[in-house]
Structure 1
């Protein structure tokens, strides 16, 4: 089974900007780059959880999910194969690039590349945030959450629940927004999908959860000091109770930077909400266009 969001990879012509943006704004630790020059960022005891690869265009390269070992990953891979999608197993060199023992990968019905990984490496060195902060809420809950817009919401919902085993946390329908939120551990959601206005899949945002509200406030000040666009003001979501704001990353996608997310358990009953936030989260500047999923084949190094 899938246990958490393990890692995230993107391609970008602006990848070098992450060498300062990652540590100085987000608070991640900059670690050794990939063989292709990819900027790798560490958020906890795991070797790295984010990699921004050089590329001609901004795009999502892959989303990595932690699983219950190779046996668990193989079961999900078999389920994907039975659904009718081709599944590949990574070679040892490919797995070494992700700092995992191994992974299977496939392209889902919306065109998004997923990797089912096991055995994330934990170096002996201690995580050192790139700036003064208390760190990130990760551990068994993984990196955070990802949100995609998909062209066929019902088809993707069925695939994520029935094939990959995600559990529905709740549904939000607010004007043109129709979204499903899913959990695989105590985090309220590790994945969410929304109905796309067209036939293209798009990446909406990556959420990082800090260990304190003060860390969030400091990040907000840093964005203002460094002219990093804040696309939504500080606010609180209705469903996961996250206090957060949204910022525009150097590679075109948004990051939700928050604190205080709600936990769920095995007795959780899915809920329904008719608005996304209880307060705040107001649009600021001109709302940016969704970030298209451009390169699902992913860089090999």
Structure 2
């Protein structure tokens, strides 16, 4: 089944801002633009990992998930249809646009659009970071992780674990404040996180990128003021995956977590429940309280 987060696509009126944000701040490499003028960013030898499409408003275009075997796409289709979710086999033209061999598309019960892909295109030894950097942790662990928020987290757990086979890593529950689940599909502690949010909406909160050096986290943190990037959560270390990181706003409403030193899971992993998200740090910046928690969309009634 799903083995990694392959790529992320968003729609945004601030597409062009990503050229500077992506290369000079994140340290990604600018790839050739998409056919619609989208900005594409590389963090490794994949053709691209982030694609920002021109649009009038911010929205999620797709979460791209990878499977190891072509036949796994058929398994995903059967499981989705058994759960009452319509899956569509993508055209050759769409596969070419995504730089994959084959893909299947669907929208989950909370309005998030997904693509399950096989055969992502790679070009070995070609990645060149946009600024001095040790690079990103990808490979079999994929792009990173995403946090999706929904009103019914238990239903979300049933869908993503029961239908798509994401494996629970642990939970963080702070009564009245936070209710979150974390799921792995490879050695990365979590590739998907789910969080509880108020009724009537779905939220794409953040994408996490893991760097190979603690100094890369510090360098990016120093650049926040220089590049006028809004801070969301201060430097800190998580209780569950032990990642040393900070969170900042992107030009397109959702946040990016830049982290280092996350723990890896194995076959003998046992899920735990934590009562706080941070060992230390990760304080919410006062100005972040005035921003949306990410890309928000209304749910159908």
1:196-235 to 2 correspondence within 5 Å? Answer: 196-235=197-236
Q: Which residue of 2 aligns with 1:120?
A: 120
Deviation at 1:125, TM superposition (A): 5.5
Q: Does 1:236 align with 2:246?
A: no
Deviation at 1:77, TM superposition (A): 1.6
Q: Which residue of 1 aligns with 2:285?
A: 284
- Contact 1:60-1:295 within 8 A present in 2 as well: no
The SS at the match of 2:21 is: helix
Q: Which residue of 1 aligns with 2:12?
A: 12
The SS at the match of 2:155 is: helix
Q: Does 1:143 align with 2:143?
A: yes
The SS at the match of 2:20 is: helix
Inter-partner Cα distance in structure 1 for 2:17 and 2:228: 14
Q: Does 1:181 align with 2:220?
A: no
The SS at the match of 1:194 is: strand
- Contact 1:61-1:295 within 8 A present in 2 as well: no
Q: Which residue of 1 aligns with 2:196?
A: 195
Q: Which residue of 1 aligns with 2:172?
A: 172
- Please list every run of 5 or more consecutive structure 1 residues that lacks an aligned counterpart in the other structure: 297-301
Deviation at 1:123, TM superposition (A): 2.2
The SS at the match of 2:96 is: helix
Inter-partner Cα distance in structure 2 for 1:20 and 1:57: 20
Q: Which residue of 2 aligns with 1:272?
A: 273
Q: Which residue of 1 aligns with 2:103?
A: 103
Inter-partner Cα distance in structure 2 for 1:64 and 1:202: 17
The SS at the match of 1:223 is: helix
The alignment's TM-score, normalised by the length of structure 2, stands at 0.96
Inter-partner Cα distance in structure 1 for 2:200 and 2:168: 24
- Please list every run of 5 or more consecutive structure 2 residues that lacks an aligned counterpart in the other structure: none
Inter-partner Cα distance in structure 2 for 1:213 and 1:224: 19
RMSD: 1.3
Deviation at 1:295, TM superposition (A): 10
Name segments (4+ residues, structure 1) moved above 6 Å.
none
Query: Which range moved further: 190-199 or 2-11?
Result: 190-199
- Contact 2:239-2:274 within 8 A present in 1 as well: yes
Deviation at 1:165, TM superposition (A): 0.3
- Contact 2:232-2:284 within 8 A present in 1 as well: yes
Higher relative contact order (CA 8 A, sep 6+): 1
Deviation at 1:202, TM superposition (A): 0.4
The alignment's TM-score, normalised by the length of structure 1, stands at 0.96
Inter-partner Cα distance in structure 2 for 1:294 and 1:47: 29
